[in-house]
Amino acid sequence: MKIHKEGRVFLVVLLLVLALVNFLLTEYTKLSSEWLTTAIGVSSLFLIFFVQFFRSPKRKTEMNKGQIIAPADGKVVVIEKTKESEYFKDQERIQISIFMSPLNVHVNRNPVTGLIKYFKYHPGKYLVAWHPKSSTENERTTLVYEVRKGVEILVRQIAGALARRIKCYVEADQAVIQGKEFGFIKFGSRVDLFLPLDCEVKVNMGDKTTGGKTVIAEFPDL
């Protein structure tokens, strides 16, 4: 297990701040030993929480061009047919949404191997990630992967009420590999996928997903 690069400086600063606070409490207050022990315990739990949030486990993806794998750890909260307006111009697609709680790994991974045909960052609101309008009104990044000519899927990183920073490491016209990291979202958030209607969905509402491992859907002829 390693710490993601997005959290390394943050964790060092947090450790120093907590150490300073506990030092000042110990040296310059009249708190009883029980209260000081409690303060140190709370600080330790606080640090452990953020360490687990920024964890970045190594995972080996079983690559399969006929499958769409989970781009994130979390819980499936939406499976429905809907119209996608930003890129597909109101064409109907299958939407699958994965909610990422603060306890999940927040690394985002490419669901397919292909070419990034479209990339756009949108500033926006910070509605809770499961709100129906979060997909179109929150801060978000939209990526479109071309698997082969005429076969495209859209992935959208969405900031939540706590997530205030989306990181994306790919750009338009870049070739990417299934399972490799493409981004990171800090704190509770959501990832939406918009798939062709003829894809066969392999997950159900409420299923837990593992980024780079769980098969979300399959293409009919790949």
The CA-based angle 108-119-96, given to 5 degrees, is: 50
Instruction: Report yes or no: 39 and 18 within 8 Å, Cβ to Cβ.
Output: no
- Answer yes or no: 189 catalytic: yes
End-to-end, the C-alpha distance of the chain in Å comes to 34
Q: Please tell me the distance from the alpha carbon of residue 124 to that of residue 126, in angstroms, as a whole number.
A: 7
Cβ-based burial of 118 (10 A; exposed 0-12, middle 13-18, buried ≥19)? middle
97, 134, 135, 189: the catalytic one is: 189
Rounded-to-integer distance, Cα 68 and Cα 213, Å: 10
CA distances to 18, 26, 35, 47, 82 from 23, rounded to whole Å, are 8, 5, 13, 16, 55
39: enclosing H helix or E strand: helix 33-53
List residues with catalytic annotation. Answer: 189
